[in-house]
Amino acid sequence: MALKIHGQATGPFAENTYVALDEESGLAAVVDPGLGALDIWTSFSDKGATLDRVLLTHAHLDHIFGLSELIEAFPVPVHLHREDAFLIENYVSIAAEWGFDVDPVSMPDEWWEHGDRVQLGSTEFEVRHTPGHSPGSVILVFDGGLFSGDTVMGLSVGRTDFPRSSADDLARSIQTQVYTLDDNLVLYPGHMQTTTIGQEKQHNQFVRAV
């Protein structure tokens, strides 16, 4: 697999910030830039990698804590599903409710649509809309794996007690958009450990395969 993936848990919510590096081209994407994302990325740029874009699986605050700092230093396109625009618009007030003082975040440059395909060097990501944890949640599928955000996370699923979340939508998204993928795909979640589609289908107690 030409895509090299580095994941690091960051911040008070132990959110997984990822760097996805296409080794053939040297182009990289930061996926869900949490707290300290700039420092994580700088360790790659110092070795000659080029940041090509930022990919957001959704816009809950822990997944964008490091976004402004990152794109201020490395101005690249940011991708998000439009249904999560309200989370960007209300980022400062939402963060304050959790006790965090943050600066506003700019609106993304590109809006995801279900079925979009995004190229990173020789690597192609397929965008699948998976509402539930948030209305604009997506998973990003590539050859050998996927970034699942907080849709599915190591024998667990994302919370659905947030504004505009839906347990029914989440279950439907997982059954139709995640469990229909190849069992051998490696799943890189927004929190907790790496897993596979097959492991989730067999052992996830929250959403069963149908």
What the chain holds in terms of domains, given with CATH numbers, is 3-203 (3.60.15.10)
Tell me the two tokens of residue 85.
Answer: 């625009």
**Which whole number is the average pLDDT over 126-155?**
97
- Model confidence pLDDT, tens digit, residues 56-81: 999 999 999 999 999 999 999 999 99
- Model confidence pLDDT, tens digit, residues 69-112: 999 999 999 999 999 999 999 999 999 999 999 999 999 999 99
Reply yes or no on whether the pLDDT at 210 is more than 90. Answer: no
**Which whole number is the average pLDDT over 160-181?**
97
1: confidence class by pLDDT, cuts 50, 70, 90: low
**Which whole number is the average pLDDT over 137-147?**
98
Sheet holding 117-120, edge to edge: 117-120, 123-129, 138-142, 145-149, 186-189, 195-196
The Cα-based distances of 25 to 7, 21, 41, 123 in angstroms read 20, 9, 17, 9
Going 158 to 67 to 29 to 56, the CA torsion angle's sign is: positive
% residues pLDDT > 90 (the chain): 98
> Cα angle vertex 148, ends 145, 154, to 5°?
90
Q: Which of 190, 186, 183, 200 is nearest to 144 (CA)?
A: 186
In this predicted structure, what is the pLDDT of residue 69?
97
SS3 199: helix
- Whole-number Å distance between alpha carbons of 32 and 169: 22
Reply yes or no on whether the pLDDT at 137 is more than 80. Answer: yes
